[in-house]
Chain A
Amino acid sequence: MTISEKILARASGKERVEPGEYVNAKIDLAMFHDLTGPLTLKVLEEVGFDKPWDPEKIVVVFDHQVPAESVKTAELHKILRSYVKKAGIRKFYDVGRGGIAHQVLVEDGLAQPGMLIVGADSHTCTYGAVGAFATGIGSTEMAAAMLTGELWFKVPETISFKVIGHLGRGVYAKDVILHIIGEIGVDGALYKAAEFTGPVVERMDIGERMVLTNMAVEMGAKTGIVNPDDKTISYVTQRASLRYSPVRSDPDAQYYSIVEVDASALEPQVACPHSVDNVKPVSEVEGVPIDQVFIGSCTNGRLEDLEVAAKILSGRKVHSNTRLIVIPASQKVYLEALRRGIVETIVKAGGVVANPNCGPCLGGHMGLLADGEKALSTSNRNFVGRMGSPKAEIYLASPATAAATAIEGCIADPRKYLR
């Protein structure tokens, strides 16, 4: 069996499961945030029963509209806080306590190998980086998961993405996943589990693996997952004790397909408007003027992302035609970025550093785009209207490409800054 099949089998009390089979599986962890939570509470209210099956397995994170930008949001936050208290949910990350959910759950060791995790957010698939089977659900299903502790799943077929070769200078996990999505398309892994393997993935640390699993949903996948190894175990056990013994795909596991990707051949990649699979090498889009650069999000707001951006920005200035917004993914990332002087470098370069939150990525809160503006972002979606005006355009790239672009005011190849 594959790792995904093993986790779904264990969670549904079966010896084995086959792709296509429907199972009822017990949930190990369920997360909702400030934008999907209010609808969940509405459902609980309508049901007339709101006591969770196990408050210890529920995590609530405020990360989308943080701190509240409007009275409406402030009211939603207030309702959620009061529910969290009443329901006895202790894993609650209020303003200033956590950051972006997908960073916090991994960073604090809540997401662990072998777990079945659901979240009322499509990028819940990120937790596959530590060998969990994690997938996004809606608010009503979150209510069902909270009350019953279980949900139905169709066991997915698995596509194995084997990344071989070596990443060149200025080429990162982000470039690998953008390239993969460009090749396979935005529905290329629809309903499938995307398992990332191969020497390049094995050499990646947890943060880099999170970039791959995070964007699995952008090709339609139900989850992205990496087989846990010594790095995973060491990362998680530094933060918490392991709940399950980690499982890995068997050597004779059956795959829907195996896609081999040669990382050595890659140059930095850019996803062009308005689709994540409209991917081109940076050399084909260099010179496109950019009004706003955003470095952050659950895809690329980690310490190593801010660090490479600061390295490129150090001693340089953001171009006068461009604004740079940098948002650390969590309070912990923020604090470490402060300690290492990363924040200072970015501010000196003329960038704005905001508090940990989802920021401009989903166009609900801050850093929105006007009609006709172009942005280059390290986030995960470039849909029409995603970051504000439906007449704006969004390019997606790595933090290094973003930093180089901020300096030049137009899309730029970061490799010349990394010699």
Chain B
Amino acid sequence: MRSLSLEVIRGKAWKFGDNVDTDVILPGKYLILTDPHEIAKHAMEGIAPGFSSKISKGDVIVAGRNFGCGSSREHAPIALKYAGIGAVVAKSFARIFFRNSINVGLPVAECPEAFERVEEGDLVEVDLANGVFRDLTKGFELKITPYPEFLMDILKSGGLVQVLKKRFGRHG
């Protein structure tokens, strides 16, 4: 249940532009869903219908500025995670989406140059432990903006729920 190290995420790159909002990541009409697998079926439906059936586990979204802007709905990172997205790499993230992603255990990485250099379909790697993003198709690597240790710890634990479980949950 508890992974103590962050594995390297490897998959195909899917590109999206600037200001991808949470309404297109998971439209409002699906907010009454609570089963993550049901939510995942509608990932990116507002901008790329059928997205969740096209992707393979571990694929990576490479986006522009302000990814995840708009509403605080945690359904958005849940949709991406359960659809199989391994990580989101963007020039910048909207802050609530950034926090939510780490809390639900979806790795997010700020890498300002990735968007311009990666092409859709490239095989890419996100190596959070070493702070590196790699494009294996094109053969280059870029630095990921590091985040504080306590956030890495939440990700390593598999999300905030696991941290809370450790503190408050019934053991055994």
Asked if chains A and B come from one complex, the reply is yes
Contact surface of A with B, Cβ cutoff 8 Å:
22, 35-36, 38-39, 42-43, 46-49, 64-65, 70, 72-73, 76, 119-122, 124, 136-141, 143-144, 147-148, 152, 186-187, 190-191, 220, 222, 275, 362-364, 381, 383-386, 390
Q: Which residues of B contact A72 (CB under 8 A)?
A: 32
Beyond A47-B164, A136-B72, A220-B69, is A385–B23 a contact (Cβ under 8 Å)?
Answer: yes
Q: Which residues of B contact A139 (CB under 8 A)?
A: 74
B57 interface hit (Cβ, 8 Å): no
B148 touches A22 (CB 8 A): yes
| Residue of B27, B66, B95 with highest tally of chain A CB at under 10 A | B95
Beyond A186-B69, A187-B69, is A383–B24 a contact (Cβ under 8 Å)?
Answer: yes
B169 touches A47 (CB 8 A): yes
Complex Cα distance, B139 from A368, in Å, reads 47
| Residue of A35, A42, A383 with highest tally of chain B CB at under 10 A | A383
Beyond A38-B34, A70-B32, A384-B24, is A121–B66 a contact (Cβ under 8 Å)?
Answer: no
Q: Which residues of B contact A38 (CB under 8 A)?
A: 34
B19 touches A48 (CB 8 A): no
Tell me which of A137, A385, A386 contacts B72 (CB under 8 A).
A137
Across the A-B interface, how many residue pairs have beta carbons closer than 8 Å?
A: 143
Q: Which residues of B contact A119 (CB under 8 A)?
A: 72
B96 touches A190 (CB 8 A): no
Beyond A121-B72, A220-B66, is A364–B31 a contact (Cβ under 8 Å)?
Answer: yes
Tell me which of B32, B78, B168 contacts A147 (CB under 8 A).
B168
B170 touches A144 (CB 8 A): no
A47 touches B70 (CB 8 A): no
Contact surface of B with A, Cβ cutoff 8 Å:
18-19, 21, 23-24, 27-29, 31-32, 34, 46-47, 65-66, 69-75, 78, 92, 94-96, 99-100, 103-104, 148, 150, 159-161, 163-165, 167-170
A144 touches B160 (CB 8 A): yes
Tell me which of B32, B96, B160, B169 contacts A122 (CB under 8 A).
B96
Closest Cβ of chain A to B50, distance in Å, is 13
B46 touches A186 (CB 8 A): no
Considering the complex, give the chain A residue whose CB is closest to the CB of B71.
A122
Q: Which residues of B contact A275 (CB under 8 A)?
A: 19
B72 touches A120 (CB 8 A): yes
B66 touches A386 (CB 8 A): no
B95 touches A140 (CB 8 A): no
Q: Which residues of A contact B65 (CB under 8 A)?
A: 187
A138 touches B100 (CB 8 A): yes
Tell me which of A39, A76, A137, A386 contacts B28 (CB under 8 A).
A386
Tell me which of A141, A220, A383, A384 contacts B94 (CB under 8 A).
A220
Closest Cβ of chain A to B73, distance in Å, is 7
A46 touches B32 (CB 8 A): no
B95 touches A138 (CB 8 A): no
Q: Which residues of B contact A147 (CB under 8 A)?
A: 164, 167-168
